[in-house]
Amino acid sequence: MTRTPSIVDRIGAAEGRIPFSVEFSPPRDADAEARLWRAVREFERMGPAFVSMTYGAGGSTRDRTVRVTGDLAEETTLLPVAHLTAVGHSVDELRTMCGAYADRGISNVLVLRGDPPGDPLGDWVKHPEGVEYAEELVRLVRDMGDFHVGVASFPEGHYRAPDLDHDTKYLVAKLRAGAEYSITQMFFDVDDYLRLRDRVAALDPEQGAKPIIPEIMPITSLRSARRSLELSGSKLPAVLEERLTRAAGDGPEENRAAVREVGIEVATELAERLISEGAPCLHFITLNFARATREVLTNLGLASHVA
Ligand SMILES: Cc1cc2nc3c(=O)[nH]c(=O)nc-3n(C[C@H](O)[C@H](O)[C@H](O)COP(=O)(O)OP(=O)(O)OC[C@H]3O[C@@H](n4cnc5c(N)ncnc54)[C@H](O)[C@@H]3O)c2cc1C
């Protein structure tokens, strides 16, 4: 396997200012792929520490995901992280996926359990020859070779966890199993992030020293933000809901330009507070568009060369 820097090394090497990173999702068709590449080339000029590529529920876009993530490794200056989910896969298939990533020079993997395809909030059913929890997949990937593994964390607690202590216990278990960092679910209340950091440090100071990278979603449409929130189990604090609803107006169609403006302001405020609280990196959900993230980075003075 080609050695590439680990995410922890990469974000640790950033000097003077906080690094940022971005999340892409697998394109569904050729047009979407062309749009993704426009965003990729734009982000290349802004200098993200790394980029991550999500994995479609149940592996629905598997071949395209592996190919495009491999192309990011081979044809750009970006450092890709491949998301790998357990849902719907046997252990043999998961090993094959890791092998396919390694063949394309990818050694950074974000290990996840994934959600049931169809209804992500439906009952979780383990593949008969698969794994039950992400922790087992962390061990599997680590045992396969020279992979650097990250996992998911949940500032508001995972929606299936009965309480925050349960949630923290199993996050720490994933870190003890060999994960080097976590990336959070998107959130809008920085105190939730700070409490997560405190809970992990209190339970296990060694694991608490590992980076918890906050994920930020710049809202550009209230309707799609509500859908993402519903699927992720995250909440919009009442004061933000009110700000965005006011911007959306009460016409039959939401006022997209006004929502967008408030969404960028909200993401900028969130990022500013995270920077002042010592977050290790800012990870942006992009939906394969560069503009919103670029505007937030510009507000923060963080884009190297804003296109
Ligand atoms: C940054 C990020 C990126 C994501 N990317 C993707 C993606 O690309 N594709 C996708 O499909 N989904 C993605 N997801 C969603 C994720 O797959 C779901 O939130 C999933 O429900 C949980 O995954 P996990 O890896 O945290 O699971 P796990 O860590 O396995 O946890 C699942 C639940 O089980 C509990 N638990 C864990 N271990 C145990 C145990 N030993 N005993 C009892 N309970 C336990 C946990 O507390 C939690 O409630 C992402 C989420 C985040 C935060």
Calculate how far, in angstroms, residue 157's C-alpha sits from the geometric centre of ligand 1.
10
Domain that holds residue 130: 7-221+269-300
Residue whose CA is at the smallest distance from ligand 1 atom 45: 170
Say if 165 falls within a structural domain.
yes
User: What pTM was computed for the model?
Assistant: 0.97
Say which DSSP state 232 is in. H
- Contact between residue 185 and residue 232 where contact means Cβ atoms under 8 Å apart: yes
> Is the CB of residue 124 below 6 angstroms from any atom belonging to ligand 1?
no
**Of ligand 1's atoms, which has the minimum distance to the CA of residue 153?**
53
pLDDT per residue rounded down to tens, the chain (307 residues): 556 899 999 999 988 889 999 999 999 889 999 999 999 999 999 999 999 999 986 556 788 889 999 999 999 999 999 999 999 999 999 999 999 999 999 999 999 999 888 788 888 889 999 999 999 999 999 999 899 999 999 999 999 999 999 999 999 999 999 999 999 999 999 999 999 999 999 999 999 999 999 999 999 999 999 999 988 889 999 999 999 999 999 988 999 999 999 999 999 999 999 999 999 999 999 999 999 999 999 999 987 654 4
Calculate how far, in angstroms, residue 63's C-alpha sits from the geometric centre of ligand 1.
22
Say if 231 falls within a structural domain.
no
Say if 33 falls within a structural domain.
yes
Say if 287 falls within a structural domain.
yes
Q: Residue 194: give its domain's CATH number.
A: 3.20.20.220
Phi, psi of 254 (to 5 degrees): -70, 150
Say if 246 falls within a structural domain.
no
230: Cβ contacts below 8 Å, ≥ 6 apart: none
**Residue from 7, 66, 121, 158 to probe ligand 1 pocket by mutation (most atoms less than 8 Å from CB):** 158
23 in active site = yes
**Residue from 101, 113, 199, 281 to probe ligand 1 pocket by mutation (most atoms less than 8 Å from CB):** 113
Phi, psi of 302 (to 5 degrees): -110, -10
**Of ligand 1's atoms, which has the minimum distance to the CA of residue 160?**
49
Nearest to 53 by CA among 41, 74, 70, 75: 70
The total of other beta-carbon atoms located within 10 Å of residue 296's CB is: 26
Say if 264 falls within a structural domain.
no
The torsion of the CA quartet 51, 104, 151, 12, rounded to 10 degrees, works out to -50
Check residue 304 and give its pLDDT: 64
Helix and strand numbers, DSSP H then E, in the chain: 12, 9
Calculate how far, in angstroms, residue 161's C-alpha sits from the geometric centre of ligand 1.
10
> Is the CB of residue 114 below 6 angstroms from any atom belonging to ligand 1?
yes
Number of domains in the chain: 1
Calculate how far, in angstroms, residue 112's C-alpha sits from the geometric centre of ligand 1.
5
Say if 234 falls within a structural domain.
no
Say if 2 falls within a structural domain.
no
Check residue 3 and give its pLDDT: 65
